[in-house]
Amino acid sequence: MSTLYDLTAEYRTLLEMADDPEIDPQAIADTMDSITGEIEDKADGYARVLAQLDADAEAAEKQAKRLAERAKAIRSNMDRMKERLKTAMIETGKTKFKTELFSFSVRNNGGKQPLVYTVNPADLPKEFRREKVTYSPDDDVIRRYLDNGNTSDFFHYGERGQNLQIK
């Protein structure tokens, strides 16, 4: 059986031959039917493989989600264990020590001292806040503008893509 690439090339060649008045139209029709049948068979095979790959991808996504949830639960357990150990070290006053395998210490975090806000940032006096202005296009307004036959140097409709649909 020919590859899809070969069948496509044969189809193009056959279309070019169809313009030649010296070639028997029945021979062209028979060859066209043969190629079309092979392309349809090939398409069926592609659809089977695509369906299997889709099932495999869904299974992999479910497995990845399950593993991510497991990793999150493990990290959460680790955080709780660290917090319990830190609390015990602080309460016992034993905030720095070494064992054969590890060194332990409870230290203050570095960096800038954190700020605690007692009001909503919008309620701060003007000299203590920064305003952010963002712009985004209003697609609905722009579509109505273009649909009414207007044109603009700032926007226009693009070409729609194509997709393969297999049912």
Give the DSSP letter string of 74-128: HHHHHHHHHHHHHHHHHHHT--EEE-SS-EEE-----SSPPP--SS-GGGS-GGG
Q: Taking the model in full, what pTM does it have?
A: 0.58
**More confident site: 106 or 122:** 106
C-alpha distances in angstroms, 37 versus 26, 28, 40, 48, 86? 16, 14, 5, 17, 73
Residue pair 155/142 in contact (Cβ under 8 Å)? The answer is: yes
- For the chain, the structural domain boundaries read 4-100
Q: Tens digit of pLDDT for each residue in 5-25?
A: 888 888 888 888 877 788 888
What SS3 state is found at 38?
helix
> Could you tell me the maximum CA-CA distance found in the chain, to the nearest angstrom?
102
Contact 7, 35 (CB under 8 A): yes
- Give the model confidence (pLDDT) of 106-118 as tens digits: 998 888 888 989 9
Query: Which residues, 6+ apart, have CB-to-CB distance to 117 below 8 Å?
Result: 124
| pLDDT over threshold 80, residue 164 | no
